[in-house]
Homo-oligomer: A and B are copies of this chain.
Amino acid sequence: MHLRAFALGLVLAGVSPAAETPPPSPAMSPIHGLVLHGGAGVITRENLTPELEAQYREDLGRALAAGHAVLAGGGTALDAVIATIRILEDSPRFNAGHGAVLNGEGRCELDASLMDGRTLAAGAVAGVTRVRNPITLARAVMERSPHVLFAGAGAERFAEQVGGIELVPNEYFQTERRREELLRAQKKEREQANRRAALGGPGGPVFATIDENDSLDVERKFGTVGCVALDQHGNLAAGTSTGGMTNKKFGRVGDSPLIGAGTYAANATCAVSATGHGEYFIRVGVARDIAAQVEYLGRPLAEAAANTLAKVKALGGDGGVIAIDRSGNIALPFNTPGMYRAHHLAGQTPEIAIFR
């Protein structure tokens, strides 16, 4: 699961470049790589039919190939991350874009963020409801505004004014599968409220304690998508996109659109994208914490990622992260039964995995 590509140069030295890979310019390094995730959670062979598994693998493979093609062609890590995430957003199977989970009102509210490790520029949006590919709007925030984060209706006004952002009705995102998940979550929520009322406690819709959070993620699946990349110019980038949690209320924002929590990239350290129970990832500051260990301790990437994930677990949180550093070392730890994931390092074969 934790791979290190330190021998990559040696491997490449004995391999002629693939047809689609132009020879690198003198300033470019042949090292490049990309890691993606499609969410972590209770993903087991028992609850995934072979047919559905094949569909997931097909999606993951297409997303990986799109990002790899950008990198192999000498493109930027930023472009590779966007190309990868757009495909996962467009797939109905992941909790981002089309196929995102439904909030308590039966609508999709999407969050995304993006960070350029070269400049530390970043862009993010929270709670958008009409932007087909939220990751492209995060890029527009980064490149075409002086700001980092736009939330809610304001973010969509920006999308309209900045141009070039495809807007769709909210129904575009909604799928039957997510409707069923919402109904199950709401049924469970009502049962909890009745139980509280029977015990003389408050029966209303306001959450009473953190322990009653189950109704928010009844299937314990966090289908957030994300990607981290290293390009031939030596630059890192990271991006994350999500629909958040089923039955979420009150404009809840998780870690995905928060720079330092769900997403971080700095050439000096690493690029990270997280998926999981967002509140715990915010409290630990997951992405920034992994980068901090690399920055201050020179800790190997896989060790730093595992250490941060252990902090999340100690607080009670589940999930996973993907990370890549400037040398092409990667890490994909998770503490759930499964995580949709894939990676492709230059000169190696692409790998796709789902279960532990």
Contacts and interface: CB of A to CB of B under 8 A. Distances in A.
Interface of A: 115, 120-122, 126-127, 144-155, 157-158, 161-162, 204-210, 212-213, 216, 249-254, 258-261, 264, 278-279, 282-285, 288-289, 292-293, 295-297, 315
B150 A212 contact: no
Contact of A283 (B148, B285, B292): B148
A261 to B, nearest CB: 6
B152 A151 contact: yes
Contacts of A208: 144
A158 B249 contact: yes
Nearest to A159: B250
Given A162-B206, A292-B296, A296-B297, A127 B152 contact: yes
9 contacts: A115-B283, A121-B283, A126-B253, A127-B151, A146-B209, A151-B251, A154-B252, A158-B250, A292-B292
B285 A207 contact: no
A247 to B, nearest CB: 12
A270 to B, nearest CB: 13
A134 B352 CA distance: 45
A77 to B, nearest CB: 17
Contacts of A260: 258, 260-261, 282, 285, 288
B284 A147 contact: no
Given A151-B127, A259-B282, A146 B289 contact: no
A116 B89 CA distance: 35
Nearest to A293: B296
B251 A153 contact: yes
Given A150-B252, A285-B285, 14 more contacts: A120-B284, A127-B154, A146-B207, A148-B253, A151-B152, A151-B251, A152-B153, A157-B250, A157-B251, A259-B261, A260-B282, A260-B285, A288-B289, A292-B293
Contacts of A205: 161
A293 B296 CA distance: 7
B126 A250 contact: no
Contacts of A288: 260, 285, 288-289, 292
A30 B67 CA distance: 58
Contact of A251 (B122, B155, B282): B155
Contacts of A161: 204-206
Contacts of A251: 150-155, 157-158
Contact of A147 (B146, B252, B258, B296): B252
Contact of A285 (B144, B145, B259): B259
Nearest to A277: B146
A292 B204 CA distance: 40
B150 A120 contact: no
A122 B158 contact: no
Contacts of A150: 250-253
